[in-house]
Amino acid sequence: MDGTLLPTFSQSISPRNAQALKTAQEAGITVAIATGRRTAYTAPLLAGLGLRADMPLITSNGAVTRTLGGEALDRSHMDSHVARGLCGLLRPFGTLVFTFDRPGTKDLALEDMKQAHERIALWVEANRSSIEVVKPLEKAIIDGEDPIQGMVCGGLDAMKAAEKALMESELAKACSCVRTEYASRDLAILDLMPPGVTKGWALERLAARLGVDRKEVAAIGDNWNDADMLEWAGQPWLMGNAAQDLRTHAKMRGWRQARPNDADGVGIVLEEAAARRKAAAAEPARRLWTQRTGE
């Protein structure tokens, strides 16, 4: 969503992107959203656009997959004892948040609202009604109700240090880490996931569920937490607004480049895909017409 489907600093999908999502669905393309946002922070952005209720939403960086209509498709979680260990390890580096899969209740837990607001004010304001403040944060993590993911955020240097600390700790084997950076805002987010759980992992499982070969899967992303998804997909697209180091990586991997998010890059890719799909569907009828008329 952020940096890809949404314009910069916007919480509304542009008219062109919104129409392109619908056009692609009407052409017979399964459009899935893959985002670091949790489901409750994703679905409202798609409401009222006329999209199919069975549209898959891969949320929390792959930990949960549901349809837009709310049907549960797939889920993973982080062991509680691992989450509690992460609290002590990463607390010194930035704002730590845990997400729970309990729709309709307070499904976000953190221990310092003021600190969070200073670092990610827009996120706090958008999710305030879902946030529970618990001090210390370990008390929010009880056995039998494991979180689905954690997140620590702060400045670029602080998050690089946090990632290094995690990779050098005993928790490294029990928790994977994906970094998303917004250099212009000196903001980085480390998504803390169960081992092996990523957007790419979830996309592969969804494609298998739908009976779709990876060669038929196109993926569009803008940040490092999209990299494994783009690596797996047969048709990878990197947004033009991606960081320079990721664009360099994309060139080495042969990924195609879409227009930036503020220029409706996703919409353009989907429009072209829908047009190709419609043309391919019309081709047998055109050939039959040619055979009958001799034209």
Helix (H, G, I), strand (E, B) or coil at 96: strand
- Give pLDDT, residue 103: 72
- Residue 289 structure tokens: 């017409």
Q: Is the pLDDT of residue 295 over 60?
A: no
- Give pLDDT, residue 283: 67
Helices (H) and strands (E) in the chain, counts: 10, 13
Class of domain 15-75+198-282: alpha beta
Backbone angles phi, psi at 127, to 5 degrees: -115, 10
242 band by pLDDT with thresholds 50, 70 and 90: very high
Average pLDDT for 112-127: 88
Give the span between the Cα atoms of 7 and 276, in whole angstroms. Answer: 26
Q: Is the pLDDT of residue 135 over 80?
A: yes
Who has greater pLDDT, 93 or 292? 93
Other beta carbons less than 10 A from residue 151's beta carbon: 24
Q: What is the pLDDT of residues 171-206, one digit of tens each?
A: 999 998 888 888 888 999 999 999 999 999 999 999
Same fold, 15-75+198-282 and 80-193: no
Average pLDDT for 40-62: 94
Q: Which CATH number fits domain 80-193: 3.30.460.20, 2.40.30.330, 3.30.1240.10, 3.40.50.720?
A: 3.30.1240.10
- Give pLDDT, residue 182: 83
Give the span between the Cα atoms of 98 and 90, in whole angstroms. Answer: 12
Average pLDDT of the residues of the chain: 92
- CA separation (Å) from 227 to 125, 164, 178, 242, 253? 29, 19, 10, 11, 11
272 band by pLDDT with thresholds 50, 70 and 90: very high
Domain boundaries, the chain: 15-75+198-282, 80-193
Give the span between the Cα atoms of 271 and 29, in whole angstroms. Answer: 11
288 band by pLDDT with thresholds 50, 70 and 90: low
Give the span between the Cα atoms of 44 and 186, in whole angstroms. Answer: 28
Kindly calculate the radius of gyration of the chain based on its CA atoms and give it in whole angstroms: 20
Contacts of 112 (CB under 8 A, 6+ apart): 95, 133, 135
- Give pLDDT, residue 118: 87
Q: Is the pLDDT of residue 24 over 80?
A: yes
Q: What is the pLDDT of residues 76-111, one digit of tens each?
A: 999 999 999 999 999 999 999 999 988 777 899 999
Distance of CA 173 to the CA centre of its chain: 23
291 band by pLDDT with thresholds 50, 70 and 90: low
Q: Which residue has the tokens 């993926």?
A: 219
Backbone angles phi, psi at 70, to 5 degrees: 105, 0
- Give pLDDT, residue 287: 64
Pairing of strands 95-99, 108-110: antiparallel
Count, residues in the chain? 295
- Residue 202 structure tokens: 């979830």
pTM of the model: 0.84
Give the 3-state secondary structure percentages of the chain, helix then strand then coil, rounded to 5.
50, 20, 35
- Cα-Cα-Cα-Cα dihedral of 82, 87, 91, 96, to 10°? 90
- Residue 4 structure tokens: 């890809």
Average pLDDT for 147-168: 94
Answer yes or no: are the C-beta atoms of 201 and 62 closer than 8 Å.
Answer: yes
Other beta carbons less than 10 A from residue 159's beta carbon: 23
